[in-house]
Amino acid sequence: MRQWLVDPKKMCKRHLLGEHVEHHMFISILLKKKNIKGYIENDLIEPLSLQQRHDELVEEMISRGYSHNSPLNFNKSILEYLPVEYINHKINRQNSERLLFLRCNQCGKKHLSIKFF
């Protein structure tokens, strides 16, 4: 489970939908007050960005014609049990993008096909 935090337009269908599902899984973990130390140490979750990122993924899903029927009901109060440094953790986005493109040829191809003008 991870948040890639890569521009959703650069993501293949599998990674776009996968990250979307994983946001719901992260919320479940947080609601159960589970330890997320490993996710933080491995740069896999950025708790404060969960709602915004979910919404970005959904926007891209809809633009591709995929359906979405699972709103994310994120409330920052579910983070209260976490240490402040976990709550404020920021994922290294450049490293995450590099790693995704190394792992997935489809995402790499989508990235290269985006027109920047």
| Mean of all residue pLDDT scores within the chain | 93
Q: What is the pTM of this model?
A: 0.90
pLDDT at 73: 85
Residue 116 has pLDDT above 50, yes or no: no
**SS3 call for 7:** coil
pLDDT at 111: 66
pLDDT at 40: 98
Q: What is the pLDDT of residues 38-81, one digit of tens each?
A: 999 999 999 999 999 999 999 999 999 999 999 998 999 999 99
Contact 20, 59 (CB under 8 A): no
Residue 117 has pLDDT above 50, yes or no: no
Q: Which residue is it, tokens 């920047």? A: 116
* Two tokens, residue 13: 């269908």
Annotated domain spans of the chain: 8-113
Contact 91, 48 (CB under 8 A): no
- Indicate the pLDDT class of residue 108, thresholds 50, 70 and 90: confident
